[in-house]
């Protein structure tokens, strides 16, 4: 057994104590507070309900990271027991002298159950002001909300609790992800949280685009929003083109308020096709992460992309599965020149770029000296052009992940892959890299199989069964 897997003396002491619940409960009054975090974890995992309740009522720290104890996102009975005990404490007129709880953290990520020593550590939460110290403050309940059908009971429980104990507790949401089609339920839940503290928002699989217009008034209050993702947004039943424009204009107008936005992702969003420029021009501060993926971009939108203020300081850019074959390479060249001092990750996977496009952007790519990740799978590049590309990227000393397409020279006239040619060409390309610098992770991948959508990666994966027939 690895020494790291061996239990600590504190863990062994906790297990021994929990074998006798009455003894454990009585011992809590004299137990050094250093034992509380570990004992809480063990009582939670072993479903020692009575001990768990007593630990919560005696919790000696300002922060209780309950979410970090959960094995999954769904609620379990232990979590309800903790909330019941916290609720009992909230309604007591005279609370126990050892009561110090300020933040109940229900988020399951971004924290450790042992990370309680310094009290509230989340900079996104409001801090208790000195003017209000000495008075009982509402308990801050920190959550990530995932509005989907299977989470509905949990969300309604929380919102009803917040409504019932208004003035005694406040819900603070850090991350909000919405899949629910019901606007009325979403509105009810959004009314219960402090919208101005949301930093991550995702809207997914919404088939009624009118939802965006109704959400706009809430979006305008999310002034600290850092990340916004829109994915799988379909056109739905829109009565007219004018109605579509009205919805998008109303939604885009609220983006003007998002002065903290740093990350914007648009994926498989047919509803916004033709209006990408309208969304992006509403972002007044520079982004560090822009992804427009699996979308159709018009020539007019493409030509205006590099002129937008929000793309001047990009650190990450993804245009995966945006077909650039019929578009001019000039906007991409200008965009790379503009982002060159800051760009660290570039994803041009499955853009169907050809040699002439590549040659046009090579000088700009050579200026991206901070680049660490370059994904270029799924582009129709010849061996001659790939040699030029690798001689250039070999000089980018920070590159650690490089994903290149198998040269078009490796395919037969019927589209099948010539294994021997692939081996020879990929080995030659690797030699070009090795002659200049020690490569990090470098892979060569084929086009995706039109049957199963898998990609064969030379020297890494197996050829899919479709191609082996």
pLDDT tens profile 322-336: 999 999 999 999 999
Q: Reply yes or no on whether the pLDDT at 188 is more than 60.
A: yes
* φ/ψ (deg, to 5) at 198: -70, 130
CA distance 384 to 359: 11
Q: Reply yes or no on whether the pLDDT at 219 is more than 60.
A: yes
Residues above pLDDT 90, as percent of the chain: 53
Q: Reply yes or no on whether the pLDDT at 240 is more than 90.
A: no
Name the residue with tokens 């083109």: 241
Q: Reply yes or no on whether the pLDDT at 100 is more than 90.
A: no
Question: Closest by alpha carbon to 175, among 234, 121, 229?
Answer: 229
Residue 322 confidence (pLDDT): 96
Residue 74 confidence (pLDDT): 56
Domain assignment present for residue 117? The answer is no
Q: What are the structure tokens assigned to 468, written together?
A: 């082996």
Name the residue with tokens 């499955």: 350
Q: Reply yes or no on whether the pLDDT at 119 is more than 70.
A: no
Q: What are the structure tokens assigned to 72, written together?
A: 């999954």
User: Radius of gyration (Cα) for the chain, nearest Å?
Assistant: 27
* Contact partners, residue 424, CB within 8 Å, separation at least 6: none
Question: Mean pLDDT across the stretch 95-117?
Answer: 73
CA distance 325 to 49: 62
Q: Reply yes or no on whether the pLDDT at 237 is more than 80.
A: no
Question: Using an 8 Å Cβ cutoff, are 167 and 197 in contact?
Answer: no
pLDDT tens digits along 49-58? 898 898 898 8
Band of pLDDT at residue 235, cut at 50, 70 and 90: confident
Question: Mean pLDDT across the stretch 132-143?
Answer: 77
Residue 117 confidence (pLDDT): 52
Confidence (pTM): 0.89
Q: Reply yes or no on whether the pLDDT at 131 is more than 70.
A: no
Bridge partners, residue 258, by sequence? none
Band of pLDDT at residue 7, cut at 50, 70 and 90: low
Bridge partners, residue 166, by sequence? 169
Question: Using an 8 Å Cβ cutoff, are 205 and 177 in contact?
Answer: no
Q: Which residue range(s) make up the domain with 18?
A: 8-95
Residue 303 confidence (pLDDT): 95
Burial degree of 4 (CB within 10 A; 0-12, 13-18, 19+): exposed
Domain assignment present for residue 216? The answer is no
Residue 443 confidence (pLDDT): 96
CA distance 22 to 367: 69
Domain assignment present for residue 232? The answer is no
Domain assignment present for residue 23? The answer is yes
Average pLDDT, the chain: 87
Domain assignment present for residue 379? The answer is yes
Residue 65 confidence (pLDDT): 87
* φ/ψ (deg, to 5) at 169: -145, 155
Question: Mean pLDDT across the stretch 191-219?
Answer: 87
Domain assignment present for residue 126? The answer is no
Bridge partners, residue 65, by sequence? none
Name the residue with tokens 């885009």: 252
How many domains, in total, are found in the chain? 2
Question: Closest by alpha carbon to 354, among 316, 323, 394, 375?
Answer: 323
Residue 397 confidence (pLDDT): 93
Residue 62 confidence (pLDDT): 87
Question: Closest by alpha carbon to 66, among 143, 156, 175?
Answer: 143
Q: Answer with the residue of higher pLDDT: 17 or 62.
A: 62
Question: Using an 8 Å Cβ cutoff, are 281 and 306 in contact?
Answer: no
Q: What are the structure tokens assigned to 91, written together?
A: 């309604």
Which residue, of 95, 114, 133, is where some domain finishes? 95
Q: Reply yes or no on whether the pLDDT at 436 is more than 60.
A: yes
Question: Mean pLDDT across the stretch 403-417?
Answer: 92
Residue 5 confidence (pLDDT): 59
CA distance 216 to 422: 52
Q: Reply yes or no on whether the pLDDT at 348 is more than 90.
A: yes
Residue 187 confidence (pLDDT): 86
What residue spans of 146-205 are helical by DSSP H?
152-164, 183-190
Least confident of 72-86, 338-352, 408-422, 451-465: 72-86
Question: Using an 8 Å Cβ cutoff, are 141 and 104 in contact?
Answer: yes
CA distance 105 to 42: 18
Which residue, of 95, 120, 153, is where some domain finishes? 95
CATH code for position 319: 3.80.10
Burial degree of 60 (CB within 10 A; 0-12, 13-18, 19+): middle
Q: Reply yes or no on whether the pLDDT at 238 is more than 80.
A: no
Report DSSP letters for 26-38, one per residue. Answer: HHTTTS-GGGHHH
* φ/ψ (deg, to 5) at 296: -95, 125
- Residue 224 backbone zone (phi > 0: left; psi -120 to 50: alpha; other: beta): alpha
Residue 20 confidence (pLDDT): 76
Name the residue with tokens 């801090």: 127
Domain assignment present for residue 106? The answer is no
Name the residue with tokens 């089609």: 181
Burial degree of 273 (CB within 10 A; 0-12, 13-18, 19+): middle
CA distance 283 to 313: 13
Helix (H) or strand (E) holding 7: none
Question: Using an 8 Å Cβ cutoff, are 130 and 88 in contact?
Answer: no
Q: Answer with the residue of higher pLDDT: 152 or 403.
A: 403
Domain assignment present for residue 72? The answer is yes
Which residue, of 95, 126, 161, is where some domain finishes? 95
Band of pLDDT at residue 208, cut at 50, 70 and 90: confident
Question: Using an 8 Å Cβ cutoff, are 266 and 292 in contact?
Answer: yes
Least confident of 28-37, 57-66, 70-79: 70-79
């Amino acid at each position: 057994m690895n020494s790291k897997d061996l239990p600590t003396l504190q863990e062994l002491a906790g297990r021994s104590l929990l074998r006798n619940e009455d003894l454990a409960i009585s011992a809590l009054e004299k137990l050094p507070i250093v034992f509380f975090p570990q004992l809480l974890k063990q009582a939670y995992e072993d479903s020692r309900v009575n001990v768990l309740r007593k630990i919560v009522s005696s919790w000696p720290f300002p922060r209780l990271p309950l979410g970090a104890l959960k094995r999954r996102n769904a609620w379990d009975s232990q979590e309800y027991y903790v909330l019941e005990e916290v609720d009992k404490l909230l309604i007591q007129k005279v609370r126990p002298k050892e009561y110090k709880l300020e933040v109940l953290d229900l988020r399951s990520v971004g924290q450790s159950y042992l990370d309680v020593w310094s009290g509230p550590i989340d900079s996104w939460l409001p801090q208790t002001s000195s003017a209000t110290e000495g008075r009982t403050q509402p308990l801050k309940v920190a959550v990530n909300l995932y509005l989907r059908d299977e989470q509905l009971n949990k969300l309604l429980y929380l919102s009803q609790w917040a409504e019932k104990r208004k003035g005694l507790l406040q819900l603070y949401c850090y991350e909000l992800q919405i899949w629910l089609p019901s606007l009325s339920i979403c509105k009810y839940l959004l009314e219960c949280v402090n919208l101005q503290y949301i930093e991550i928002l995702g809207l997914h699989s919404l088939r009624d685009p009118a939802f965006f217009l109704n959400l706009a008034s809430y979006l305008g209050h999310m002034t600290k929003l850092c990340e916004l993702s829109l994915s799988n947004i379909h056109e739905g039943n829109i009565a007219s083109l004018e109605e579509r424009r009205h919805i998008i204009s109303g939604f885009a107008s609220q983006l003007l308020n998002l002065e903290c936005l740093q990350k914007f992702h648009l994926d498989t969003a047919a509803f916004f096709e033709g209006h990408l420029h309208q969304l992006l021009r509403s972002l007044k501060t520079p982004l560090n992460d822009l992804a427009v993926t699996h979308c159709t971009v018009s020539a007019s939108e493409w030509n205006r992309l590099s002129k937008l203020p929000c793309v001047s300081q990009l650190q990450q850019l993804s245009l995966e599965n945006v077909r650039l074959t019929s578009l001019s390479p000039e906007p991409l060249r200008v965009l790379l020149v503009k982002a060159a001092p800051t760009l660290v990750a570039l994803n041009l996977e499955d853009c169907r770029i050809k040699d002439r496009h590549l040659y046009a952007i090579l000088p700009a790519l050579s200026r991206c000296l901070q680049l660490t990740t370059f994904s270029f799978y799924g582009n129709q590049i010849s061996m001659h052009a790939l040699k030029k590309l690798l001689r250039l990227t070999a000089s980018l000393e920070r590159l650690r992940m490089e994903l290149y397409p198998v040269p078009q020279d490796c395919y037969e006239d019927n589209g099948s892959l010539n294994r021997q040619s692939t081996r020879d060409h990929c080995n030659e390309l690797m030699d070009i890299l090795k002659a200049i610098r020690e490569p990090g992770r470098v892979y060569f991948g084929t086009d995706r199989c039109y049957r199963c959508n898998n990609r064969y990666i030379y020297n890494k994966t197996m050829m899919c069964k479709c191609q082996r027939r």
